[in-house]
Amino acid sequence: MLLSFYNPDVLGDVLIVETQEDVATQNTTQKDNVVRIFNEENDQAIGFNFFDLGEKLGIQDESGQVFLDEKQVAVLNDALEQAGFSDKLEADNSPKFVIGHVDAIKEHPDSDHLHITQTDVGFDKPVQIVCGAPNIDQGQLVVVALPGAVMPTGAEIWPGELRGVDSFGMICSARELGIPNAPQKRGILVLDDGKAGQAFDFEAAKNLFD
């Protein structure tokens, strides 16, 4: 995964890159114009800050989340190498909000409202997602925020667990997706049609609740 953020008005010419979720044991090392953020327990990189590359990357006029192509990621890898770091970044432009099909569902063993789903998101096999929505059911077409997604609120989605059960992403409500006029009550968005793994069309979804 590769999440990138750039906000020159607040941070100056600094590109923030995240490859993993923050951990309590993280630390930093700076060489030249690169700060490496890593997990002290295993020395695994969880992110980087790149200074003074906005113009070279062509993002100097952008603000917020940025989506880097392979050429831009190559610039970052050159910066890492020149600074003396051995890490390599890979471009990640796969859709993070996709249509999912709830293949199977069962109750969470340690909760009276959570459910464990096996949801087809277009991968080789379904992924496990824990969901607390009251209207979740087998056979539904839903919208899944995969790890690496950034919600309209700015929240980032990473693999995690709920009540001790692994969960790969989040099944979303219309409100969580920021769809205009979305119902304010609890409950996931259930779609009438679509194919598992297909990118969710936010533009088309603007008319869902007209």
Give mean pLDDT, residues 104-114. 89
The phi and psi torsions of 75 (rounded to 5 degrees) equal -65, -40
Judged against a pLDDT cut of 90, whether residue 210 lies above it is answered with no
* C-alpha Rg value of the chain to the nearest Å: 19
Judged against a pLDDT cut of 90, whether residue 84 lies above it is answered with yes
User: Residue 182: what pLDDT?
Assistant: 94
User: Residue 137: what pLDDT?
Assistant: 96
CA 109 to CA 120: how far, in whole Å?
22
User: Residue 63: what pLDDT?
Assistant: 93
Judged against a pLDDT cut of 90, whether residue 50 lies above it is answered with yes
CA 126 to CA 121: how far, in whole Å?
7
Give mean pLDDT, residues 183-199. 93
Q: What percent of the chain has pLDDT over 70?
A: 100
3-state secondary structure of 122: coil
Structure-derived torsion over alpha carbons of residues 171, 174, 176, 180, reported in degrees to the nearest 10: 160
**Reported confidence tier of residue 181, pLDDT bands at 50, 70, 90:** very high
**Helical spans, DSSP H, in 21-132:** 54-57, 70-83
Region of residue 52 (left: phi > 0; alpha: psi -120 to 50; beta: else): left
Judging by beta carbons within 10 Å of its beta carbon (0-12, 13-18, 19+), is residue 191 exposed, middle or buried?
middle
Encode pLDDT of 63-72 as tens digits: 999 999 999 9
**Reported confidence tier of residue 125, pLDDT bands at 50, 70, 90:** very high
Region of residue 190 (left: phi > 0; alpha: psi -120 to 50; beta: else): beta
* DSSP state letter for 157: P
User: Residue 93: what pLDDT?
Assistant: 87
Encode pLDDT of 9-30 as tens digits: 999 999 999 999 999 999 999 9
Provide the token pair at 101: 């099909």
**Reported confidence tier of residue 166, pLDDT bands at 50, 70, 90:** very high
User: Residue 109: what pLDDT?
Assistant: 86
